[in-house]
Each structure stands twice: as C-alpha cells, then as structure tokens.
Amino acid sequence: MEQLSNLRHTLHHVIRALIMGGIAFYIIRLVQTDHLTLYISPRMTIYVKLAAMGLYLIAAVQLYEAIRVWNGKPGEPACDCQHPSSGSLWRSIGVYSLFLVPLLTGFATPDTTIGSAMAGKKGINLSASSAVNRKTPSAAQPSVSPEGSSAADHSSASPPSPKPTGLDALFPSDQFSESYANYGKKIYGQPEIVVTEKSYMEILTTLDMFLDQFVGKKLTISGFVYRDDTMKTDRFVLGRFAVQCCTADAMPYGMMVESADPSQYANDTWLKITGTLGKMKYKGNEIMSLKLEKAVKIKPAVDPYVYPDIDFGL
C-alpha cells in the first residue's frame, strides 16, 4: 500500500516537472526563433525570459522530490503540515489538463500573426485620437478663487492671455494633447509625411487630432489590408495592431484608403501606400482617409505589431 502511495506521489511530481519544464522550453523556443514578440511586447520579454529560468528551477525541484519519494525518502514538510495530492484521478486529470492542453497546442500549432480576421472580430479603429482624453476648460463657467470670489472679480489685476497666433493657433492643445500638438507643428511644413514604425500610433493620432491642418498633404504608410461589408467597393483599410503588453490587448488601428481598383489587394496583403490625405464620412463619423496614388506590395514587417513610443514628445 505504501509503495502504491509513493508511486502516485512520484507520478504527481514528474507530471508537474514536465509541465514546468515544458512551459520553460516553449518560451526558450520562441526566443530562439525570434517569435516571442508575436505574443508579447518587446519591453515584456525580459520578464518572460526570467520566468522561464524560474520554471526550469521549479521543474528541477519537482524531479528531485520525485526521486526522493521513489527512494522512500519523502521528507517532512517545513511547515509541519501535510500537502496531499488530489485523491481523485479525474480531478487530477482535469487540473493537469488545464496546463497540458494549452502547452501541447502551442507546440502543435505554427507561430503566426493576427490579421484581418481578428480585426473583423475586434472592430478596427479608424480614429486614433479617440484614445486621447482631451479636456478643454470651459470659458462659460468662471473659475473660483480660494476665497470664494470668481476669477472675473480679479480681471483688472489679471490681464487676459494673448490669443495664440501662427502655428500655436493651428495646433491648440491641453495637458493631454500637448505632445501631439508639438509634433504637428514639427511636421506641418514637411512636403510628405511618413508614418514610421517607431511612432506609428502617435503620428496617426496627431493627424487625426488636427486633421483639417493636414488635409491635402502627401502621406506614406505601411500595413495590412482589411475590408468588410460595411465599406464601399472602392475602399479598404490599411491597418496595424497596436500592442500595449501582449496580443491579448492588441487593438487594430487603420486608415481608410480610396482606390480605383481595390480588388487587386486581398485581405492581409501588406502594402506600402503613398497618397493624399483627406477626410470622409463613415458610419456617421468624420474620419481621415487616403486617396491612393501609389501602392507597393511588401513583405510583412519582421515585427508586425506597433507599440507605444516612450520617447514621443521628448
């Protein structure tokens, strides 16, 4: 009876070691194939690599315990208490399946990027500036001083601020949009705007936030093709997935493209497009658009996702 119990406990330790070691090995495989960033943001990779090292250590401890139990030396718990394994076979199978099934699925399926199919499920965002929380103080309600009197009572002591002129008038801002306004001033005089990988979301947000100032400008942008039944036949979206932490929070952003012959570009085709920036109505909202002038089919980006630019606005 004791031998059967030792065998059962040994098997539990071995299965746990295989699960921990298997997860760690899967992470290392993703690192070696440069596929880890298909699932998480680059800034998170160091933590996942450290986690893999910890999982290898746990797996080694579980194997050591399995050998001790098999040799009849289970040892005493440090907390002077018992930690028996589940007495139910089906319960144990159910618990271990929660780890083994996803792990085996990961090894059995190819590493791939998310594309237009996922964009269709999540819904693509055609207004990048909607994520910026802009709050402009209302001029209709006077501010109140700590003593309770309105700011209007002190108007004689505080002359009104001069109205902005030049670029400051074209790119008004508050604390939430100041970095975008400053970038808008920087690129306003450029003959062509290029949406770069590093600042993809920030540039789209700037263009969308100050769209009237950029209508008619030349723009170059890269991404994958997406279309659905709500779009007219002469239109498609060129988009990218923006990732904050991992692909679970990935959100598709894009720009509507007008083309004379869009049918030649199938969904998930990667393009580098140059065109003229404009605006149009879509689902009752005004969005920015691009009149296609030149399109080149390209290979998917090495890293297909875009990330927040922590240096933007510095």
For residue 291, is pLDDT > 90?
Answer: yes
Residue type, 151: A
Whether residue 103 is found in the same domain as residue 176: no
The least confident of 36-50, 122-136, 154-168, 236-250 is 154-168
Average pLDDT, the chain: 83
Would residue 201 count as lying in a domain? yes
Residue 117 tokens read as 């199919």
Please tell me the predicted confidence (pLDDT) of residue 8: 83
Would residue 35 count as lying in a domain? yes
Please tell me the predicted confidence (pLDDT) of residue 292: 95
The least confident of 40-44, 78-82, 157-161 is 78-82
Whether residue 274 is found in the same domain as residue 211: yes
pLDDT top residue among 57 and 230: 57
- Nearest-angstrom CA–CA distance, 236 and 271: 12
Q: Which DSSP symbol is given to 150?
A: B
Which CATH number goes with the domain that contains 294? 2.40.50.140
Would residue 312 count as lying in a domain? no
Please tell me the predicted confidence (pLDDT) of residue 183: 93
Would residue 154 count as lying in a domain? no
pLDDT digits (tens, 9 = 90+) for 72-87: 765 555 455 445 555 5
For residue 164, give Cα distances in angstroms to 136, 160, 170, 172.
15, 12, 9, 8
Q: Return the exposure string of 250-266: e unless at least 16 CB atoms fall within 10 Å of the residue's CB, then b.
A: bbbbbbbbbbeebeebe
Would residue 238 count as lying in a domain? yes
- Report which of 72, 168, 126 is spatially closest to residue 254, judged by C-alpha positions: 126
Whether residue 105 is found in the same domain as residue 223: no
Residue 123 tokens read as 């819904």
pLDDT digits (tens, 9 = 90+) for 119-153: 877 888 888 888 775 554 333 333 333 344 444 44
Q: Return the exposure string of 113-139: e unless at least 16 CB atoms fall within 10 Å of the residue's CB, then b.
A: bbbbeebeeeebbbbbbeeeeeeeeee
Whether residue 291 is found in the same domain as residue 188: yes
- The structural domain count of the chain equals 2
Per cent of the chain over pLDDT 90 is: 43
Would residue 148 count as lying in a domain? no
Whether residue 171 is found in the same domain as residue 204: yes
Quote the domain boundaries for residue 71: 2-77+85-112
Whether residue 176 is found in the same domain as residue 281: yes
For residue 9, is pLDDT > 60?
Answer: yes
Beta bridge partners of 240: 253
Whether residue 108 is found in the same domain as residue 202: no
Whether residue 104 is found in the same domain as residue 175: no
